[in-house]
Amino acid sequence: MTTNYVTTADGVRIFYKDWGHGTPIVFSHGWPLSADDWDAQMMFFLAQGYRVIAHDRRGHGRSSQVSDGHDMDHYADDLAAVVDHLGLLGAIHIGHSTGGGEVVRYLARHGQGRAAKAVLMAAVPPLMVRTDANSGGLPKEVFDDFQRNTATDRAQFYLDIAKGPFYGYNRPGAQPKDGIIANWWRQGMQGSVKAHYDGVVAFSQTDFTEDLKRIAIPVLVQHGDDDQVVPYANSAPRTAELLPNGTLITYPGFPHGMPTTHAEQINADILAFIRS
**Any idea which residues carry the catalytic annotation?**
97, 227, 256
Q: How far apart are CA 205 and CA 94, in angstroms?
A: 21
Q: How many residues does the chain have?
A: 276
Amino acid identity of 225? Answer: D
First vs last C-alpha separation in the chain: 28
Q: What is the b/e burial string over 72-88, where b = at least 16 CB atoms within 10 angstroms of the residue's CB?
A: bebbbbbbbbbbebbeb
Query: Can you say whether the dihedral through the CA atoms of 189, 126, 9, 16 is positive or negative?
Result: positive
C-alpha distances in angstroms, 167 versus 100, 131, 145, 177, 255? Answer: 18, 27, 20, 10, 5
Query: Looking at residue 134, what DSSP letter applies?
Result: B
8 Å CB contact between 166 and 256: yes
Tell me how far apart the alpha carbons of residues 193 and 174 are, in angstroms, rounded to a whole number.
30
How many helices, marked H, and strands, marked E, lie in the chain? 10, 8
- Rg, Å, the chain Cα set: 17
**Which ranges of the chain does DSSP label H, i.e. alpha helix?**
39-47, 72-86, 98-110, 140-163, 178-190, 193-205, 209-213, 236-242, 258-261, 263-275
Q: How far is CA 226 from CA 159, 176, 180, 257, in A?
A: 20, 16, 19, 11
